[in-house]
A and B are shown apart, each in its own frame.
Chain A
């Protein structure tokens, strides 16, 4: 089985540009998570979806960040406008049942905002 798929794997953009990160969860999983990892703050949960519905977005840094899950097999994390402090590795994870089952992580998107 394919694991969690993320694209792009690397993104370099200039401050002020819109950035869209994409995630395809493992087939059959109904929970999806977006995490961000930086040296300073480690791994942080940004948002959690269950059955395509956002359940907890308290980790989203500010209004510049938005996430959608239009269907069970696709999610996006958008940053508009991007800032240098958004530079980080963004991970998507999925699980069969978010509060119980194991979370499986994708390879991440390494974002650099110049």
Chain B
């Protein structure tokens, strides 16, 4: 799986958009970008994933650059409950691609 690079921490004001970047310059053509988050003392929670097109769901939007070497997770209106560690994971699909490799992630702190 391609390695990802994320900032260690970020702050965001409540009600504002939180933009979390992720670099994955060695991503290969069949690898997807997944985002999970882990709120304190809880299990990781799936947020969104994408291959090349931008994706949006009820939780967030995922913007993937055209060269696919980086992506941004956008929480449009951050709340205090969005304070968590956010993990960007690159994973292929099919074959032996069952493993999610979690790095250190980005600690997002939403401030009142």
Contact = CB atoms under 8 A, between A and B. Distances in A.
A43 interface: yes
A108 B100 contact: no
The residue in B94, B100, B102 that gathers the most chain A C-beta atoms within 10 A of its C-beta is B100
Interface stretch (B18-26, B37-45, B64-72, B76-84): B37-45
Interface range, B side: 10 to 19
A24 to B, nearest CB: 14
Contacts of A31: 98
A108 B93 contact: no
A48 B44 CA distance: 17
| Main secondary structure on B side of the interface with A | loop
Contacts of A106: 43
Contacts of B96: 56, 99
A100 interface: yes
Contact of B46 (A43, A48, A103, A107): A103
A43 B94 contact: no
B47 to A, nearest CB: 10
26 contacts: A42-B102, A42-B104, A45-B99, A45-B100, A48-B98, A55-B98, A56-B96, A56-B98, A56-B99, A91-B43, A91-B44, A93-B43, A93-B44, A99-B93, A99-B94, A99-B95, A99-B97, A100-B94, A100-B97, A102-B46, A104-B46, A105-B43, A105-B44, A107-B42, A107-B43, A108-B43
Interface of B: 34, 42-46, 49, 93-100, 102-104
